């Protein structure tokens, strides 16, 4: 789908959000396979049809602390989205999320991001950063929805968001 104009869909009551363990290549590949070329470009900021073996291995190297990932599953067990938080140098953590095109626009991205953020907060992640392409209105809407105090900082063809997770309540902007 990848609608640039939001079209409301049916509710997602039967969607289950679950934390991923390491080496869940099955879940990773299923979600990547469900992304259109446009969605893959918006997620990885490259026209490459598939992540390199190195990137794929990195995406599966979840440890539940410095690299936390959660996935969304349909009632029949199909993986339809992943959000992840990865601690990087400088004390911040990179947030990324993708939802298969067929299931976009139903609140799954929001649920995934909120779930991974809560786990990250508990694991000690304190500053979250996320990038969205300037054209990617859905991702920007999602990040501003989850981090309502955020200020979007344009950096060329990307928009950067940053939020502090120090307090257990709503996230607050610190820098971008």
Ligand X SMILES: CC(C)(COP(=O)(O)OP(=O)(O)OC[C@H]1O[C@@H](n2cnc3c(N)ncnc32)[C@H](O)[C@@H]1OP(=O)(O)O)[C@@H](O)C(=O)NCCC(=O)NCCS
Q: Which residue's Cβ has the minimum distance to ligand X?
A: 109
Chain positions contacting ligand X, by CB under 6 A: 3-4, 6, 39, 42-43, 96-99, 104-110, 132, 136-139, 141-142, 145
Place of tokens 């990307």: 158
**Pick from 95, 88, 125: nearest CA to 109:** 95
CB 81 → ligand X: shortest distance, Å?
A: 7
Strands of the chain, DSSP E? 16-19, 67-73, 79-87, 93-99, 127-133, 153-155, 158-164
CB 20 → ligand X: shortest distance, Å?
A: 16
Cβ proximity to ligand X, 97 vs 162, nearer residue: 97
**Pick from 131, 167, 170, 164: nearest CA to 148:** 170
CB 92 → ligand X: shortest distance, Å?
A: 15
């Amino acid at each position: 789908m990848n609608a640039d104009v939001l079209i409301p869909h049916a509710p997602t009551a039967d969607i289950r959000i679950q934390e991923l363990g390491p080496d869940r290549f099955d879940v990773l590949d299923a979600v990547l396979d469900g992304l259109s070329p446009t969605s893959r470009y918006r997620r990885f900021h490259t026209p490459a049809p598939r992540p390199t073996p190195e990137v794929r291995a990195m995406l599966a190297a979840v440890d539940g602390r410095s690299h936390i990932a959660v996935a969304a599953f349909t009632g029949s067990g199909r993986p339809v989205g992943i959000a992840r938080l990865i601690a990087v140098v400088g004390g911040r953590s990179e947030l990324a999320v993708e939802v298969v095109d067929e299931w976009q626009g139903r609140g799954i991205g929001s649920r995934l991001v909120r779930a991974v953020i809560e786990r990250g907060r508990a694991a000690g992640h304190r500053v979250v950063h996320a990038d969205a392409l300037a054209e990617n209105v859905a991702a920007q809407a999602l990040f501003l929805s989850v981090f309502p105090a955020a200020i979007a900082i344009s950096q060329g063809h990307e928009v950067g968001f940053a939020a502090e997770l120090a307090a257990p309540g709503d996230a607050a902007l610190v820098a971008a």
